[in-house]
């Protein structure tokens, strides 16, 4: 069963949570009523580039570096194997209690239960898959399952025979996309989403849990409240919303941007050729600079509103006021007087 079909099976079992969020410019959308249960932060600089492979941290005794390295299963020494039989431990994970097993994509890690000299729990085994079977000596362990950005852990005791453990991750999926105006598709590859914890502490000063997510990607998250920041282009076209991810459900969120692409031209006469070697600044009526560039045809995505385009060419300054309307991509000519 592929990942898409498995998600559809989850939806048929528990229903799809669809949240269509209207977020205009920089105004926050209304939050859904749910307590914040965000996952833990990952260590600075330690996260891999793929947002779907981020594993949440465990308690301080477990070394975060062991969670982020992609190594193969750690072998038990032959001497230990000879002195003690190794029973088989079967591990499976579910998004929610009573749901089907997750078929693939889980990173399983088994740690010793006693801290070493450095105070950390040492990594005993690591493997990837869905339901897996691991040979382990009898003893106490901590098992951890990472599924995208969702994860869970459990202390277990392994005896002398084959055993089975199930981890319920209490997790769901989130898929994001965006429109411009009421129903226009944004320009390709210009929309990115940052996912932050839903609590108010720290705000966007912290690093996002999932940075620069592209539209229509599915990211796996622990159930809870999250703050979504959608950026269309590199200037000021930003939409925000607070959403809730539910365990066992695929939550789809659509962000609406009130913005348009503006192409700037400095011309000697209306409809004329654009003058090269031009420096550009775009400012709001309040005097805030939202865009700087140089060239004959700079493009910028701007939120709706009034602006002033300032062109500098051959040590002369030329200006024009203009308005941005939602979804109306157009050229703005500045006349060199």
Domain 259-335 is of which CATH architecture?
Sandwich (2.60)
**CATH number for the segment(s) 3-43+171-257:** 2.60.40
Other C-beta atoms closer than 10 Å to the C-beta of 310 total: 18
pLDDT for res 86? 53
Best CA proximity match to 183, nearest among 250, 254, 261, 238: 254
What is the radius of gyration, based on Cα positions, of the chain?
26
- Residues 6 or more apart from 78 whose CB is under 8 A from it? none
Low-confidence ranges of the chain (pLDDT < 50): 8-9, 11-19, 21-59, 68-85
CATH 2.60.40.1120 domain locations along the chain: 259-335
Question: For the chain, first and last CA: distance in Å?
Answer: 67
pLDDT digits (tens, 9 = 90+) for 177-235: 999 998 999 999 999 999 999 865 555 567 899 999 999 999 999 999 999 999 999 99
pTM to 2 decimal places: 0.73
The three-state secondary structure class of 153 is strand
Residue 106 in tokens: 């889980």
pLDDT for res 211? 95
Burial label for 56, CB within 10 Å (0-12, 13-18, 19+), is buried
Domain 51-168 is of which CATH architecture?
Sandwich (2.60)
pLDDT digits (tens, 9 = 90+) for 28-63: 233 333 333 333 332 333 233 233 323 333 445 555
Residues 324, 328, 330, 335, Cα dihedral to 10°: -30
pLDDT for res 114? 87
């Amino acid at each position: 069963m592929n990942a898409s079909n498995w998600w559809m099976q989850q939806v048929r079992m528990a229903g799809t949570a669809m949240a269509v969020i209207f977020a205009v410019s920089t105004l926050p959308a209304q939050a859904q009523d749910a307590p914040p249960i965000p996952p833990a932060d990952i260590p600075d600089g330690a996260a891999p580039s793929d947002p779907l492979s981020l594993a949440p941290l465990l308690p301080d005794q477990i070394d975060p570096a062991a969670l982020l390295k992609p190594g193969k299963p750690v072998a038990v020494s032959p001497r230990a194997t000879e002195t003690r039989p190794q029973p088989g431990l079967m591990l499976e994970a579910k998004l929610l209690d009573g749901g089907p097993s997750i078929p693939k994509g889980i990173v399983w890690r088994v740690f010793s239960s006693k801290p070493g000299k450095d105070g950390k729990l040492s990594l005993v085994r690591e493997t990837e898959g869905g339901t897996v079977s691991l040979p382990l000596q009898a003893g106490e362990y901590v098992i951890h399952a990472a599924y995208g950005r969702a994860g869970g852990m459990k202390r277990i005791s392994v005896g002398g025979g084959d055993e089975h453990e199930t981890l319920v991750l209490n997790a769901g999926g989130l898929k994001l996309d965006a429109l411009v105006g009421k129903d226009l598709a944004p320009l390709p590859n210009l929309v990115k989403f940052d996912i932050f914890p839903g609590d108010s502490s720290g705000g966007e000063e912290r690093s996002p849990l999932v940075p620069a997510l592209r539209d229509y990607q599915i990211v796996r998250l622990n159930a809870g409240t999250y703050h979504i920041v959608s950026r269309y282009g590199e200037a000021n076209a930003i939409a925000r919303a607070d959403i809730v991810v539910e365990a066992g459900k695929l939550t789809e969120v659509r962000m609406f941007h009130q913005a348009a692409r503006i192409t700037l031209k400095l011309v000697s006469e209306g409809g004329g050729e654009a003058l090269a070697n031009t420096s550009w600044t775009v400012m709001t009526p309040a005097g805030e600079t939202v865009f700087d560039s140089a060239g004959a045809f700079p493009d910028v995505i701007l939120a709706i509103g009034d602006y002033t385009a300032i062109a500098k060419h051959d040590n002369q300054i030329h200006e024009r006021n203009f308005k941005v309307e939602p979804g109306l991509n157009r050229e703005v000519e500045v006349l060199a007087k």
